[in-house]
Chains A and B, each alone.
Chain A
Amino acid sequence: AQKVTQAQTEISVVEKEDVTLDCVYETRDTTYYLFWYKQPPSGELVFLIRRNSFDEQNEISGRYSWNFQKSTSSFNFTITASQVVDSAVYFCALMNRDDKIIFGKGTRLHILP
């Protein structure tokens, strides 16, 4: 079965704190892709990152970083020094060979000023 679990439904942190959004996935395929998307209040999903199953190197992009660990089937997302503009719903997603993306239910992140 293919599944993406984002156990944190909602998180609130004070601005400038670091925050980690968890993502656990299930798949039987050896080749797959993982994604993170941001959905601000406007509703449009914004692509943040793609990772393929053969590349476990962690990635950093500005204040964003991603930790991919195949041993625990996790692909966690950390925002460092959070800002109010980071407030959004964040989705983790999985794609197998059939080209269909399965989304988690999302984590709503509130950054409090």
Chain B
Amino acid sequence: DGGITQSPKYLFRKEGQNVTLSCEQNLNHDAMYWYRQDPGQGLRLIYYSQIVNDFQKGDIAEGYSVSREKKESFPLTVTSAQKNPTAFYLCASSGPQRSSYEQYFGPGTRLTVT
């Protein structure tokens, strides 16, 4: 089945540790996105990538890093510089190219940092 997978569903880390969230898609989509959702809030864009080996900062990129070495994969690293990392993280993809604009989402990863 085609779709977007994010693993793990729940992740716990100690403060000061970097953590990498996985996002894989087999939809042949060109664009991929990372969002953060806090309780009672909408989604805020962290980073996005429209093609392999290229990505742009979103609205809240500070404390995060990404890579796009393969079309299917767009991992997000939450660094120790992120002041409030506890949140629900959603990965999305859209495409191929500009034939469709809606984004399809993965199941999300709930990160808790203590």
Interface residues of A (CB under 8 A from B): 4, 9, 33, 35, 37, 42-47, 50, 91, 95, 99-101, 103-106
Contact = CB atoms under 8 A, between A and B. Distances in A.
Contacts, number: 49
Q: How large is the interface on B (under 10, 10 to 19, 20 to 34, 35 or more residues)?
A: 20 to 34
Residue among A46, A50, A101, A105 with most chain B CB within 10 A: A101
Interface stretch (B37-45, B63-71, B77-85): B37-45
A45 B107 CA distance: 8
A44 B106 contact: yes
B101 A95 contact: yes
B74 to A, nearest CB: 15
B101 A43 contact: no
A43 B88 contact: yes
A91 B90 CA distance: 14
